[in-house]
Structure 1
Amino acid sequence: MIRQLNSGRWNVRIKHNGKHLVSRTFDRKKDAQKWEQQQKLALASGTWTDPRAGEVTVEVYLPLWLDTKTLAASTLEGYEAAIRRHIIPVFGHRPLSSIPPSEMQSWAVNLAKTSRTAARRSLGIMRGMYRMAVADGFVARSPADYVELPSLRRGEPNPLTQDEVVRLVDATPNDRDKLMIQVLAFGGLRFGELAALGPDSIHDHGLHLTRSVQHSSQGPGVIWGDLKTHQARTVPLPSKTLAALRQRASDLAADELIFSTTTGTVISRRNWSNRVLTVACKQAGIKRITPHDLRDTAATTLLAARIPIAVVSRILGHESPATTMRHYAGVTSSDRDLVQNFLDQLG
């Protein structure tokens, strides 16, 4: 209903099923008529939201969304850092309903030019927040759903050959580090999973993984959490490697780490990579690698041996075999040989 006030302005009252929903005042009658029509169409289509709800700001609503998430401690730290660095400075003061898709697209693209990882994480946070805002009736649609990041070709895995693994182990002087390399290269563990291993992780058929640890990126200290997929798993290892782990753990207390610094603290991935792995690569005369390349080594070795993709996925702790396929979509050299032999037989 539209009525003119004594001031000459035009007031619109929106009712639905006999209940007053919202009212608004305009200087011009045609603006009042247009807004009334928009509200009625939204009510008829089931997409109506209270215009006042959209005035809630991003800074106010984001913590409410974050409280609904069950996240590993390290993931939560990353989310909070992205919110603090990339979202709040740009959108914190803005009402939820005030951000158009074009503005969010521009923000995401510009952020990706600096850090694609930060852009992907920050956009994921905004998408999640807006999904809940739509469900709560604060906004009718999410501007984040229309945003696309520039495509980036995924880097190829960078595994070692088994001969290179042997040379790398031989070039490593410390028994602790030799065994760490073997567990990473044969078991495909993430470094945080390796650093969290304790005597109770060793089982008859391999390692039973239930936790992970990493150094905080926001300051001193470490962050303990469960595994990336929140599911424990068992990782098989060569018998000699498993025996060496049992020997190393035999004199440890139940709460000690199998691999630790000289003072018994958690090993830093960055420090170990720079001070041990890089030096060993140089001594062995092989390409420089990261701990994750040793995980690639385990994966590609298993796939080249024709281990089913579902089994490899479980060993690596991927969310699904589809994830494994995406990471290791490249055909291994043995696969290429198999394909080439088949094609040669066709003439």
Structure 2
Amino acid sequence: MPKRPGPWFRKSRMSWFATVQEKQYQLPVRDESDRAAAAAAYQQLLADLAAALRSQPPQPPPPPDLARAVEPARPLPTVAAAAGQFLDRRRARLAAPSFRQYDIALRVHLVPAFGPRPVASLAAEEIEEWADRPEWSNSTRHNRIGTVMTFLKWAGHPLKIARPPMESRGADAVLTDEAFARVLAAARAGGYGSDLEALLVTLRGTGARPSEVAGLTVASVDWANRLARLREHKSRRHGHGDRVIHFSSPVMEVLTGQRARHGSGHLFRTSRGNPWRPAALVKRMVQVSAKAGVHATAYMGRHTFATAALVAGVPDAVVAELLGHKGTAMVSRHYGHVGGQSRVLKDAVERLGRPKAG
């Protein structure tokens, strides 16, 4: 299989090589990790070949790679510049919550770490070390690395980066009533001066995504019918219609209290009066978890809701609709074993409790 344009490392020779017009050239770079130097040497090789080509009598048009080399070598794109272009292109193609995750991974975290570096100089080991942060869960690391891999592939520098497995959405992703009470007490006693406690209760009582609840406003709630209808949401790009969040009586009490507190605008706000943003919520939950002695994330409210619904025997299709999924595939993949196991155990208890014949 022909090598793709650009430098590549040959371990048997412990040197970088490049293929131009079906001919291999050894580059004067031997450090496997110095991709930036290899890329610069490759650009110099193309320039030298183009200069030699110009000094010869007229020839048929050169192949595309040499034709590009006739032009003055342009500086290699930096991570900051490429990430900005990538996000500009993605903005119109992604729902707002999904784009926000791309923006957080790249603009907020990747660019400050590698911004001035050429994209071609990044190595997989560096990205793995960058993502190894104690405040990030395995699921967060998995998603952030996936976003970086998508970006690097788009930028012409694909890398195979080890990603930790997604965290289980089973027992470890569920907060018991006792643990949740400790989290609420920590949020209440933290002196944060925000609506965090009300936000967490609403998340656990609706199964909605944190971004959906954080974005609720007084005007977006249908108070008479006890629901909210969201036109912009994560699943819209998959063909789903409006996202409908249903509110139980306890949740309606919380929302009504928030409406009385703020009057208009966002129902849930930070201590500074701003709407909750993902980064701020993650940071606050890390602090609350440490104070409560319980590992807790905002997303656990959603997992707890789904698990409780399945254990109670709510049909998968109904749970999927409440969670905002188009079908039952996600429920079956992540939560189905919970409901299935519960039903099996309940049936076994019923059989054991029946009086024996005779």
Of 300, 315, 340, the match for 1:335: 340
1:239 matched residue in structure 2: 249
Asked if structure 1 preserves the Cα contact closer than 8 Å seen for 2:206 and 2:246, the reply is yes
**Count, aligned residues:** 263
TM-superposition CA deviations, 1:253-279 (whole Å, max 9, x none): 333x32335653345425643565665
2:175 matched residue in structure 1: 160
Asked if structure 2 preserves the Cα contact closer than 8 Å seen for 1:186 and 1:238, the reply is yes
1:183 matched residue in structure 2: 202
1:296 matched residue in structure 2: 303
| 2:264 counterpart of 1:254 | yes
How far residue 331 of structure 1 moved from its aligned partner, in angstroms, is 2.5
Q: Equivalent pairs: percent with the same residue?
A: 18
Alignment of structure 1 residues 207-218 onto 2, 5 Å: 207-208=227-228, 210=230
2:285 matched residue in structure 1: 273
How far residue 63 of structure 1 moved from its aligned partner, in angstroms, is 4.7
Asked if structure 2 preserves the Cα contact closer than 8 Å seen for 1:169 and 1:178, the reply is yes
Output the CA distance in 2 between the equivalents of 1:170 and 1:119: 34
2:103 matched residue in structure 1: 76
Counterpart amino acid of 1:304?
Answer: V
Output the CA distance in 1 between the equivalents of 2:168 and 2:210: 19
| Farther-moved stretch of structure 1 (54-63 vs 183-192) | 54-63
Distance 1:187 1:51, change over 3 A: farther
How far residue 206 of structure 1 moved from its aligned partner, in angstroms, is 3.9
| 2:207 counterpart of 1:198 | no
| 2:149 counterpart of 1:127 | no
Output the CA distance in 2 between the equivalents of 1:167 and 1:61: 44
1:4 matched residue in structure 2: none
TM-score, normalization: structure 2? Answer: 0.54
Structure 2, unaligned runs of 5 or more: 1-20, 22-48, 133-140, 352-358
Distance 1:49 1:129, change over 3 A: same
SS of aligned partner of 1:200: coil
Distance 1:50 1:342, change over 3 A: farther
Output the CA distance in 2 between the equivalents of 1:247 and 1:307: 29
Distance 1:151 1:84, change over 3 A: closer
Distance 1:278 1:320, change over 3 A: farther
Output the CA distance in 1 between the equivalents of 2:300 and 2:325: 16
How far residue 150 of structure 1 moved from its aligned partner, in angstroms, is 2.5
SS of aligned partner of 1:149: coil
Asked if structure 2 preserves the Cα contact closer than 8 Å seen for 1:199 and 1:249, the reply is yes
Output the CA distance in 1 between the equivalents of 2:201 and 2:128: 36
| 2:107 counterpart of 1:91 | no
Distance 1:66 1:294, change over 3 A: closer
TM-superposition CA deviations, 1:159-217 (whole Å, max 9, x none): 12356556766887689555333211111233343333221232244442649xxxxxx
How far residue 230 of structure 1 moved from its aligned partner, in angstroms, is 5.6
SS of aligned partner of 1:249: helix
Output the CA distance in 1 between the equivalents of 2:116 and 2:195: 45
Asked if structure 1 preserves the Cα contact closer than 8 Å seen for 2:226 and 2:247, the reply is yes
TM-score, normalization: structure 1? Answer: 0.56
Counterpart amino acid of 2:267?
Answer: I
TM-superposition CA deviations, 1:314-335 (whole Å, max 9, x none): 4334587545555x25732x53
Counterpart amino acid of 2:305?
Answer: A
Counterpart amino acid of 2:208?
Answer: L
1:113 matched residue in structure 2: 129
Counterpart amino acid of 1:112?
Answer: E
Structure 1, unaligned runs of 5 or more: 1-11, 13-23, 40-47, 131-142, 212-225
Distance 1:87 1:288, change over 3 A: closer
Output the CA distance in 2 between the equivalents of 1:25 and 1:169: 68
SS of aligned partner of 2:167: coil
How far residue 50 of structure 1 moved from its aligned partner, in angstroms, is 7.1
How far residue 312 of structure 1 moved from its aligned partner, in angstroms, is 3.5
Output the CA distance in 2 between the equivalents of 1:87 and 1:170: 39
How far residue 153 of structure 1 moved from its aligned partner, in angstroms, is 2.7
2:88 matched residue in structure 1: 67
| Farther-moved stretch of structure 1 (52-61 vs 301-310) | 52-61
Counterpart amino acid of 1:119?
Answer: I
Output the CA distance in 2 between the equivalents of 1:85 and 1:230: 31
- When the two chains are superposed, the root-mean-square deviation of aligned CA atoms in Å is 4.7
Output the CA distance in 1 between the equivalents of 2:145 and 2:184: 38
SS of aligned partner of 2:166: coil
